[in-house]
Amino acid sequence: MREKITPRSQDYSKWYTEVIRQAELADYAPVRGCMVIRPYGYALWEHVKEGLDRRFKETGHENAYFPLFVPMSLIEKEAQHVEGFAPELAVVTHGGGKELEEPLVVRPTSETVVGYMYSQWIQSYRDLPVLINQWANVVRWELRTRLFLRTMEFLWQEGHTAHATAEEAQEETLRMLEVYADFTINDAAIPVLQGRKSESEKFPGAETSYSIEAMMGDRRALQSGTSHYFGQKFAKAFDIQYQDENGKLQYCWTTSWGMSTRMIGAIIMVHGDDQGLVLPPRLAPIQVVVVPIWKKEEERTVVLEAVETMKAALGACVRLKVDDRDEYSPGWKFNDWELRGVPLRIEIGPRDVAKEQVVLARRDQPGRAGKSFVPLAGITDAVTDALAQVQNDMLKRATEFRDANTHEPADYDSFRDAVAQGFARAWWCGDVTCEDKVKEDTQATTRCIPLDQLEGNGQCIVCGNPASEMTIFGRSY
């Protein structure tokens, strides 16, 4: 018998962990700070991968794979990069019973090994651009961990590209940011803000970092994907050069971009409720669950025959599961599939068969409000229409929630209140001193400087000096 899930309003962090474990998305591993992704959670990740991978290939990228181990000498080639990652590195010093001549770093990210390989592969302008993505695991030695959001080992994709000009590389950086936004909005049903990271928040070694920022159900921010413009920093560190059309050697311009299993944490926290997961149809491992209901054996035969007819109609267009387990009551099954966040539930009993109808229940609208009777003859259209409506309504609710909790404070006192209750959109002068003061006073950080800016200028919300850009501030995971 499952324990009752802690309400979000009582303890949001506890609710989050209980939902993950009871819905069997993931569990704690025997290694501190690591997780085991269970089949249901991995199926969700596979749909995330499919949505992203299709978009990567549509924009001309190819998948490849680079080693898990990186020589320490490569990590040390780019000064800002090694300084930024030093506290998080896992280092192998022994192998095969012997001390290694050079320590190996367990991949925290792959810019260095990719840079080395690109220096071997790129010789001419004809070799450019190089547009490669890899799906991999990475290790970062985190002190405080939380399932999906921050673990020592996690899964992700990381794109690495090389270009002939700065303009091409900058276009690539923003193109991939838009790819992430398109996926997150349209597949995950999560509204995001696209923007530039501050100097103190950017990726180690990047010239400019961009991110998509989302608001979780507790009004905290989550950085959900990043895209980095490196300029020629890594090209010069790793000697990535090409011969241009005039026969002159030039350094390449490079980028990288990534999204991880943290996206699953975002889906849980943006859409989940006190009953458990609420999954967007486009990513849900099971889009429709059918619960047949009967009391007598003769009713069972009639109901299951109708279910088979329904499966034949729906099987080709939706991810369908029939829960015909005898050992559980219909009510227990309803609660189980609500916990797992299946977008639609179809209930069918002998009376429904007689009336040639089913009960269609939406997960995103619990109770009677989400239930309707649908003729069996029109089940395919009804289900596909309902899934589309669920997807749209989930995005609409998440957008309304974010907008209702995004404030534009007039002074620093109201700013402090605003970041305690959600996002604050405010003028910022760009000075790190003001940024540090906000962090010290409120625990909030600059989430991003939105690409979509208001015209004109204002006064910094912290110091009152002239400011030319609005910035999103918020407390984050």
CATH fold for the domain made of 406-474: Translation Initiation Factor IF3 (3.30.110)
pLDDT in tens, the chain (477 residues): 578 999 999 999 999 999 999 999 999 999 999 999 999 999 999 999 999 999 999 999 999 999 999 999 999 887 677 777 888 999 999 999 999 999 999 999 999 999 999 999 999 999 999 999 999 999 999 888 999 999 999 999 999 999 999 999 999 999 999 999 999 999 999 999 999 999 999 998 899 999 999 999 999 999 999 999 999 999 999 999 999 999 999 999 999 999 999 999 999 999 999 999 999 999 999 999 999 999 888 899 999 999 999 999 998 899 999 999 999 999 999 999 999 999 999 999 999 999 999 999 999 998 888 899 999 999 999 999 999 999 999 999 999 999 999 999 999 999 999 999 999 999 999 999 999 999 999 999 999 999 999 888 999 999 999 999 999 999 999
Whole-angstrom distance, CA of residue 306 vs CA of residue 374? 14
Q: Which CATH superfamily is domain 12-271 in?
A: Bira Bifunctional Protein; Domain 2 (3.30.930.10)
Q: For the segment 161-194, what is each residue's pLDDT rounded down to a tens digit?
A: 999 999 999 999 999 999 999 999 999 999 999 9
Using DSSP, state whether 215 is helix, strand or coil.
strand
Residue 311 DSSP class: H
Q: For the segment 209-268, what is each residue's pLDDT rounded down to a tens digit?
A: 999 999 999 999 999 999 999 999 999 999 999 999 999 999 999 999 999 999 999 999
How is the chain split into domains, by residue range? 12-271, 288-389, 406-474
Q: Cα angle vertex 383, ends 51, 19, to 5°?
A: 60
Q: What is the CATH number of domain 288-389?
A: 3.40.50.800
- In 174-220, beta strands by DSSP E: 193-196, 208-215
Helix axes 379-404, 262-271, angle to 10 degrees: 90
217: closest CA among 452, 404, 46? 404
DSSP labels for 327-363? SS-HHHHHHHHHHTT-SEEEEE-HHHHHHTEEEEEET
DSSP labels for 363-424? TTSTTGGGEEEEEGGGHHHHHHHHHHHHHHHHHHHHHHHHHHTEE--SSHHHHHHHHHHSEE
Matching residue, tokens 């506290």:
87
